[in-house]
Amino acid sequence: MQNKIPVSMKSLIDEVKTSFANDEKVQTMFENCFSNTYETTIRHKEDGTTFVITGDIPAMWLRDSAAQVRPYLLLAEQDEAIADLIQGVIQKQFLFLNHDPYANAFNEEANGNRYHEDKTEMTDLIWERKYEIDSLCYPIQLAYLFWKATGRTSQFNNTFIEAVNKIIRTWKREQYHAERSNYHFERENCPAQDTLSHGGKGAPVRYTGMTWSGFRPSDDACQYGYLIPSNMFAVVVLEYVVEVFEQVIQDSKLAKEALVLAKEIDQGIQKYGTVEHPEYGTVYAYETDGLGNHNLMDDANVPSLLSIPYLGYCAVDDSIYQNTRKFILSNENPFYYEGKIAKGIGSPHTPERFIWHISLAVQGLTAVTLEEKQEILRLFKNTDAKTNLMHEGFNVDDPMQFTRPWFSWANSMFSEFVLSLTNTFVKESPISKVGKTNDIPIENSINRFNL
């Protein structure tokens, strides 16, 4: 049974429809996508927490659930019920983090359901235990942005404090993955990207200051253990931790610990995470190992190199970011595809020549020209396979071929992009600065995007 959308959601949908008064396709797509998470993936629990499934998979991913409800922070500013719902998501996320900071996805109950019988330390509550840095970043980001949107601080409770301590300890331990970490993950009878090499420990790495990740936000294994965009995200949320623990919790000791760790990770990124490209100049690598190896690519999933201004690591006009952006939106990126209908970034997680709606949304959100934003909107309208919803990946030559018909994260990212075209941003979100600092007069954009 679907949840009935609240008045605040209906009002915002109507506002966006007015902004696209001459574009019935965008109106319909936004209404369907913006309401999809609320109507189909939310599970209210008796303890006041909120469980959020990804869509076609019944588990709750820490990353996806945060991204799925993020646009609803706009409603939470005025709607107490929506604020309660998001606070319930935050509470559930930090309960899960305290259960196991190495797990990426959890069951609604401790029922023993799981994606696969993997060789790692499982419990009945865990759906999958692929360790991904971003799984620890997203709940902190959501809790912080929730504070800025609503003024509430009750989410910064003992559960939050315990989890943040675990996150910091985990990231510090994984700075020395080979020497100090007991984490391992092996999956049998699977593609290579679904398991870690070297007895479940992953490829060798050397200390860099960055923190190690077993898997990417795609849930694919890292080629090299220092995943640059996820380390960038860690720097951003550690700075959030500093602000929360100084201003709200008033724990200067943990604030200082978070600040020191953020600086160590950032120094590692700057020292080991860049490469001189013969055509594009200094660019960020996607992954490195501290041993001289670099993986030059980008993946559709967020955090990605394309998304780092969206995450708040750098300004959109940062020279290294712009060099990197040109690289990853070119055929030099092995997962950039151009076809008869569309062009953009895909992923080794999906078939060749499939690009992702999530990456299109990120490209649009970080674009600095009106023309590029218009082109992204046009691509969205032409690649929904006539469903008025977003998907995971679709074929650049035939969008009727797509993966995951019910994928809430993609719907939310599309919604955030469309909202940005009307100069509507989540309060204090870094991406709002893109809309305010470039030369695009978005605030007067009614009908400018009716293509």
The residues, ordered by sequence, that sit 6+ positions from 236 with a Cβ below 8 Å of its Cβ are 137, 141, 311, 312, 313, 430
Mean pLDDT, residues 375-383 taken together: 98
Range list of H helices, 153-307? 158-173, 177-180, 197-200, 228-247, 252-272
**How far apart are alpha carbons 83 and 88 in whole angstroms?**
9
> In sequence order, what are the beta bridge partners of 345?
336
20 band by pLDDT with thresholds 50, 70 and 90: very high
Which tens digit of pLDDT belongs to each residue from 385-431? 999 999 999 999 999 999 999 999 999 999 999 999 999 999 999 99
The four Cα atoms 38, 39, 45, 46 give a dihedral, to 10 degrees, of: 110
What is the token pair recorded at 206?
């050397």
Q: Which residues pair with 215 in a beta bridge?
A: 221
For residue 439, the model assigns a pLDDT of: 42
Residue 359 in domain: yes
Q: What is the pLDDT of residues 42-90, one digit of tens each?
A: 999 999 999 999 999 999 999 999 999 999 999 999 999 999 999 999 9
User: Hey, which residues does 126 pair with through a beta bridge?
Assistant: 106
**Rg (alpha carbons) of the chain, rounded to whole number:** 21
Mean pLDDT within 217-243: 98
Beta bridge partners of 336: 345
- Return the HEC string of 104-165: CEECCCCCCCCCCCCECCCCCCEEECCCCHHHHHHHHHHHHHHHHHHCCCCCCCHHHHHHHH
Residues 159-174 have a mean pLDDT of 98
Residue with tokens 């999958």: 128
> For residues 128 and 104, is the Cβ–Cβ distance under 8 A?
yes
Residue 118 lies in a domain: no
Dihedral in degrees, nearest 10, Cα atoms 48, 54, 60, 62: -100
Residue 440 scores a pLDDT above 60:
no
Q: Does a structural domain hold residue 295?
A: no
The answer as to whether 397 is a domain residue is yes
DSSP category for residue 102 = T
Identify the pLDDT of residue 30: 98
Q: Specify the number of domains making up the chain.
A: 1
What's the mean pLDDT when you consider all of the chain?
Answer: 95
Q: Is residue 144 part of a domain?
A: no
Eight-state DSSP code of residue 50: E
**For range 362-370, the mean pLDDT:** 97
Q: How far is CA 124 from CA 41, 288, 344, in A?
A: 21, 34, 39
User: Has residue 348 been placed in a domain?
Assistant: yes
The residues near 342 (Cβ < 8 Å, ≥ 6 apart) are: 355, 360, 379, 382, 383, 394, 396, 399
Domain span including residue 15: 1-40+330-451
Looking at residue 434, what is its pLDDT?
A: 66
Return all residues near 86 (Cβ < 8 A) that are at least 6 apart. Answer: 50, 69, 72, 73, 76, 142, 146
Average pLDDT over residues 121-149: 98
Cα angle 56, 297, 317; round to 5: 100
Considering the domain boundaries, does residue 10 fall inside one?
Answer: yes
Is 448 inside a domain boundary?
Answer: yes
d(CA 89, CA 114): 21
